[in-house]
Amino acid sequence: MSDSQIARPGLLIALVPVMVLIGCLFFSSYLFGDGSSSGPNQIGLILSAMVAIAFGLKMGYTWKELEAAMVHGISLSMGAIFILLVVGSLIGAWILCGTVPTMIYYGLQLMNPNYFYVASCAICSVVAISTGSSWTTAGTVGIALVGISKVMGLDPGIAAGAIISGAYFGDKLPPLSDTTNLAPAMAGTDLFTHIRHMLWTTIPSMTLTLIIFTFIGMGAAEGGNAENIDQILQAIDQNFNVGWYLLIPPVLVIFMVVKKVPAFPALLIGSLVGCVFAGIFQQETLSRFVGNPELDSFRTTIKGCWTALFGGFSGDMGNESLTKLMERGGMANMLNTIWLIICAMMFGASMEKTKMLEVIAGHILGLAKNTGSLICATLCTSIGMNIVASDQYIAIVLPGRMFRAEFLNRRLHPKNLSRCLEDAGTLTSPLVPWNTCGAYMSSTLGVPVATYFMFCFFNMLNPIISAIYGFTGFSIEKISDEQAAEYLEA
């Protein structure tokens, strides 16, 4: 039986797996607290997927069809999984070679707690605009900035919020970004029209975000652990060789991404360059890390770098704060996040295959009676897709496909739709713990989503401003009947 011959489920049936997921995640958080993402959430996602599958079997789908859909869904996330693995290696290699300690060392001397948060947001904005990648930004300068915040005694949750706000501001605007290209393609408009139209919501959101981080930082000096900074600097000096040349690996990665080298090979090359730098500049650190004086320098270098790539860095730095800060990285430490992504994609794929996502989105569209409510429906659907389907690309593609005709029927320019898809689909993805973006940011920065999401002011303000524009009509461009017909035919 083909998909077209199988009846679509009703709204109540479509909501059951979602309610099961909400219940499972609530009890997971209640019973396991901060450890909920280390297994309990994964079980909740699998159980919720099984509920959707049970309804799918009852509707007429075969197990093979549903299994194939889940396998396909997981395959869509393989690019993210590859990058997660190589980022784990990159973190381990860059700590071992002294790159991360050097960035922290210089950052502690240059950054002032009073302007740390706003400066972090601005720095990440510039890097992300240059690279078009929020993930690369978080995986390079973001790692160091979180480390600096911890040493200064600042709140790592606020620091992560500033980093993510800046990274997604930069990810949202440049033509280098994949989501910036995907949204106009789904809506039916051109890239630069889309980028210009996004400025109406993006610039006010970032301006407010920078103002908020400026005010938050005003009292940061009082809470900063200034007396610990000198001890950290001394400990870094004792355990690593520090120098400007150790900043070459991140500069190289950023250069490669700007030159449109794909993220995976760029990050892998960055990891391997870090290993070379470790062998050249950090022989004493390698010897302590390997802990086997019988090995010669060559074998010590190979074993140490290999271990950092798969298992991360560890060792007693002579300072408890620095030791905790440096015990990170390695592919093995990313496996729990990958497990979360696989389970989330199973749930999202089962919901999509059984048409439950379409049913829920269709009912949301039915509530849209005017332009403002249509904009809100689009925003809410994209946010919902990030929560249920666990992937920002689905949160852009599915609402884009579903609402494109409705925007044209109401004589609204397609760029209004493409802006909504980015304002909600792109920006809310790192706020969901089991979304590929949320899982990546949490693992890379070492800060749980529950800790940082309330400080991602840019990511939360942008959809709100977009909704306000929808109801007021500000910057909402309409088209003629003839133009709408042309777009429908295209």
**For residues 214-221, average pLDDT:** 81
Q: Whole-angstrom Cα distance, residue 373 to residue 370?
A: 5
More confident residue, 325 or 193: 193
Instruction: Indicate the pTM of the whole model.
Output: 0.81
First to last CA, the chain: 32
Residue 226 reports pLDDT greater than 70: no
Residue 224 reports pLDDT greater than 60: no
Assess contact for 200 and 207: CB atoms under 8 A: no
Q: Whole-angstrom Cα distance, residue 69 to residue 383?
A: 22
Where do the structural domains in the chain lie, given as residue ranges? 79-333
At 200, is the pLDDT very low, low, confident or very high (cuts 50, 70, 90)?
Answer: very high
Q: Whole-angstrom Cα distance, residue 139 to residue 103?
A: 13
Q: How confident is the prediction for the chain on average, in pLDDT?
A: 88
pLDDT at 221: 56
Q: How do residues 48-64 score in pLDDT, each as one tens digit? A: 999 999 999 999 899 99
pLDDT at 362: 80
Q: How much of the chain exceeds pLDDT 90, in percent?
A: 45
Closest CA to 362 of 397, 403, 332: 403
Rounded to 5 degrees, what are φ and ψ at 412?
-105, 135
**For residues 175-196, average pLDDT:** 83
Residue 282 reports pLDDT greater than 80: yes
More confident residue, 307 or 487: 307
pLDDT at 490: 62
- Specify the 3-state DSSP secondary structure of 340: helix
Closest CA to 392 of 356, 344, 461: 344
Q: Burial of 298 by CB count in 10 Å (0-12 exposed, 13-18 middle, 19+ buried)?
A: exposed
